[in-house]
Every structure is written in C-alpha cells, then in structure tokens.
Amino acid sequence: MAERSLLSPAVRGWVQLVLQVALALVLVVALELLATRHNQRFDLTPAKTFELSASARQVAADFDRPVRITAFYNSQGADSRRDMGDLLDQFSVAGPSFTYRMLDLDRSPALAGKYGVSSYNSGVLEVGEDLIRLRSIDEAEITAALLSLSRSKSRTVCFVIGHAERSTDDTDERSGYSEVGRALSQERFGVVTLTTLPREGVPAQCTVVVLAGPSKDLLPGEADALLRFLHAGGRVLMLVDPDAPPSVIDFLTAAGIEARRDLIVDEQNRFVGADSYMPQVLRFRSETFHNNLTSPAVLSLARPVGPLGEHPKGITVSSIAATSPESWAMVDTVTPPDGEARFRREVDQPGPLSVGALATFAPATPDGAPGQLMVFGDSDFATNFYLDLLGNRDLIMSAVAVLAEDPSLVAVRRKSQPGGTLSPISLTAAESRTVFWAGVLGPPLAVLLIGAVVGFRRLRQRGGR
C-alpha cells in the first residue's frame, strides 16, 4: 500500500509558489546589490550627452576630501530637476567622497539666504570651511570648483604674441584662439598675454609659456631667455607651422628638436571635401598622455617634428605624436603645390611621421625640477574653427596639463556642439565611399541581382516543361 503524502496537492502548490516568489526576490535583491556596487552607465548618443566627460570623472575621482553640494531647484521644472539630480548622482558615483542634497528654492528661503542663492538651478559646493558658489549646476561649473580647491598654487599660461602668434584675445573663427583661452579659464588656469619676453627673462607668474604659430623672427635675446627658463625648470609649448622663421627653427635645434622643412600629405585619411594636407594624428606616447587620448587629432598644413640625431648635453628628446602609416612628407616644401600631390619615390619620406616632440632639460640643481619643451608641427588645429574637430581640444588642453603637471586634466573633454538637433559626423573620403556604396548603391543593386536570378530561374523552369 502506497504511503500517503503529508501535504495535500493544494498545499504543495502553495508551498511551491511561496518558494518561487522567495527565490525571485532573492535574485532581484542580488541583482540590485550588484548593480549598486558595480554601477555602469551606457550612453549611446554621439556627443555622450548623458554621462560625465572623462576629465570630469578624473577630477572627481582624484579629489580626496569630503565634498557636499547643495543645489536649489524650481519645483515647477520637473525636467530640469531630474537632469540636475542625474548629474549630481554621476558625480557621487565618480567621486566616493562626493555627497549632495537638492532643495526647493521656494520652500527653503532661509538656507538659500544663508548661502546667498537667489536663482534656480544654482547652489554651493562645500569642502570643510571652504565654500564656492555655483552659478549653475552643470559639469563645467562643478569641475572648475573642484579644480580650484584641489590646487595648492595658481597656474598661469602665458601666450606670447609679439611674433604674430595666435592670440587668446582674437575671436576670429579661422585664426583666433579665444576658445582655447576660454577653455583654460574654465579649468582654472590664469591666462596672460605677453607682447615680448622681458630682458630679465620669463615672468615668474608663468607656469607654461605658449608660442602658438610664430611667423616672425624672435627678438635678440628671446631665444636665450627661453633656454634659461627651460634649464631652470620652466615649461614651454611651441606650435610651429611649416612657414616658421629661421630663428624659431634655430631655437628648436638648440633644444635637440628637428622641425623639418617638409609638408605632410595624408590622402588616405582626408575628410570628405577636404584636401590631402590635413593629416590625422593617430598615435600618442602613452608615457606622456597616460593612454588618455582616444580620438585622433587633425592638423592642417603640418610639418614633421621630432628628435635630432644627436641631442645637446643634458637634454633628452622623444617623439610624442605621429601620423598614420599612409601619410608621407613632401620634402623641402612649405606651401601646397598646384594640382594633385604626388609621392616622389626617391625624394619624399613615407609615414608614419613624428609631428610632436618633448624635450626634457636636466635640473640645474639636485633638488630642482626638469624643464620641458613640447612642440607640435602645426598651430591651426587649436584655432576656434578646428578646436572641436575630433580630438583637437583634448590634445591642446592635455598638452598644457602635462606641462603644468596636472595629470587629472590629461583626459578627454566634452566638446561643444553646434546648435540644432543633428549630431555632427566626420568621415574620411574612404569612409564616405563605403557609406555611399553600402547605403545608396548596395540595396538597389542587391534587389536587381535577386530579381535577375529569380527571373532567370523562372525562364529555365518554363523552358523545361
């Protein structure tokens, strides 16, 4: 006789249901804990609109003191409140010491008055006794506040303009550097313009001296002043165009850097509608830029720049940026020739070509800091017109950060986008042809081919009957 079960079928069914619900709850809780501890955010928009830029994440992660942001919102603006909370939550994930609170400005007048806040979407950032007012709750404002608190001393970038260099006061779209000046100011660098280098040497306030595209000769004594500055631990960034004057080339030679009188051609990687004299910089020295430059930079009318065969004593030089293997150097040429560029087998040099170099000067004293001279073979890439093309902004800003010894700023930055609802896209000529064949001609040709095959088979079947 079979043993009778202690539980009826109905009770067993309820027990199974309870166990299934309990296991499902355990699974949901486990997944929630994993998602909380290993938070990952995926932003598929081209401009990465819904996530922090790499530079902002790096600044937040490197800040080692407790931070609290008090943000005031408008209760009538649900969308702006949600965006504000999302941004602050991303900062709290990037920086473990980061906390925040969000308050309705209309319902918290006393606290708003204490902090001096009178407008929506604004607030304060507190670190210990330090308090910084935030004019708006956005990534740039918060990052700049963290930078101002994390730096033990001010950093000033001095742009020399006495040799017809690019100027941060120039707002011209094609030649101006005003956007570079604005970007440096947002990252809490001081920006100063120098007409010439004083006879007594580089001003003490200059952390980094920039000569962006000098097209006139250096004045007597200026090259010596720069070399003394470098030997004393100073930092110099020089952007040298193909038509740079002889005194600039002589100065680079004295520093162990060769700026060849050639023009770089890159037919394979040129952009749609552009000429072949806009080479892409695809390789960056990892020791210099910490593998943080992920997008290629695009130069315009560039010259090769690299180490000399023999370095002066006390100076070491290394290449820090190079073009694609498909590029080549049109030797002994500084202006584009008329007609199509043709590679001369016995004359021109195939790529990849060095377009950036870093010269390190040995310290003058045992406890002194080494001087550094960073050189790139083009100044157009950082103008207002080209600054937000691919990785150009990352390159110029990271170059300044390297020289200023600010590693948290050697990173990818958020690029400003043009107005409208469309996202820009940059295609090379080869990529454009691929898109044209795959998207425009490919589908109709495939349909015609399939129709021809089907028609041919039907004709054969009819002929066989």
Residues 209 and 223 sit within 8 Å (Cβ to Cβ): no
| Strand duo 305-307 + 130-134: pairing | unpaired
Average confidence (pLDDT) over 361-376: 90
Task: Using alpha carbons, select from 69, 72, 82, 70 the residue that is nearest to residue 118.
Answer: 72
Token output for 257: 């850097």
In 81-199, beta strands by DSSP E: 98-104, 122-127, 130-134, 155-160, 189-194
pLDDT tens digits along 177-219: 999 999 999 888 999 999 988 878 899 999 999 999 999 999 9
In this predicted structure, what is the pLDDT of residue 46? 55
User: And the tokens for 95?
Assistant: 């920086």
Q: Which residues pair with 329 in a beta bridge?
A: 264, 349
| Domain architecture of the chain: domains with CATH | 54-148 (3.40.30.10), 154-409 (3.40.50.880)
pTM of the model: 0.75
Please choose, from the candidates 373, 380, 411, 378, the residue with its C-alpha nearest in 3D space to the C-alpha of residue 395. 411
Q: Is residue 2 pLDDT above 60, yes or no?
A: no
User: What is residue 43's predicted lDDT score, i.e. its pLDDT?
Assistant: 58
